[in-house]
């Protein structure tokens, strides 16, 4: 028996599945819920669920606080179970590059585990972006700076 395969992408930390029915997310317990027939509607749903779109400013910290108008299903875990999963996530994956918040969200499933929300640090240069202005970098970038910022940085030296 062949298992069903979804196309997936991640948006705002949420794994989003796509098939002929539209865009779906996995709920607590492993069931799927359709969040929109188009990618635009799926993103709007996730923006609403997580407190609205974030402004693209360098000093803004993303907020994953759910909007009070959109209920989030309970995860079914006790405080002790949440603490155990949070501690395991921190012990196994925690570093300067991966953090787990005290108020992280959890998504247990029937496969003997639980997804734990975490923050992953990605340097701008690793994403192919200028470390100063976040413009796209050319292959021959100068130390993580774009063609506009590299000459400006050289003047300031």
Residue 22: per-residue pLDDT: 76
Amino acid 50: pLDDT: 67
Q: Tell me the average pLDDT across 67-91.
A: 73
Q: What mean pLDDT is reported for the chain? A: 74
59 compared with 86, residue with greater pLDDT: 86
pLDDT at 88: 92
| pLDDT band (50, 70, 90) for residue 70 | very low
- 8 Å CB contact between 23 and 36: yes
Integer-rounded Cα radius of gyration of the chain: 19
Cβ partners under 8 Å of residue 19, min gap 6: 4, 6, 7
Predicted local confidence at residue 36, as pLDDT: 77
Q: Which residues contact 67 (CB under 8 A, 6 or more apart)?
A: 48, 49, 50, 51, 52
Q: Distance from CA of residue 63 to its chain's centroid?
A: 11
Query: pLDDT (tens digit, 9 = 90+) per residue, 11-44?
Result: 777 778 777 667 777 765 566 677 777 888 878 7
The whole model's pTM is what? Answer: 0.45
Which range is most confident: 36-40, 49-53, 68-72? 36-40
């Amino acid at each position: 028996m062949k298992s069903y395969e979804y196309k997936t992408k991640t948006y705002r930390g949420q794994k989003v599945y796509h098939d002929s029915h539209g865009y779906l997310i996995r709920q607590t317990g492993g069931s799927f819920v359709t969040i929109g027939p188009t990618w635009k509607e799926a993103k709007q749903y996730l923006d609403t669920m997580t407190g609205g779109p974030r402004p693209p400013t360098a000093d803004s910290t993303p907020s994953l606080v759910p909007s009070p108008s959109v209920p989030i299903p309970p995860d079914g875990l006790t405080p002790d179970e949440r603490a155990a999963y949070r501690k395991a996530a921190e012990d196994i994956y925690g570093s300067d590059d991966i953090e787990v918040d005290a108020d992280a969200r959890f998504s247990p499933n029937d496969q003997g585990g639980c997804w734990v929300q975490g923050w992953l640090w990605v340097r701008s240069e690793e994403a192919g972006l200028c470390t100063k202005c976040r413009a796209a970098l050319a292959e021959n970038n100068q130390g993580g700076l774009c063609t506009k910022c590299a000459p400006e940085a050289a003047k300031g030296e």
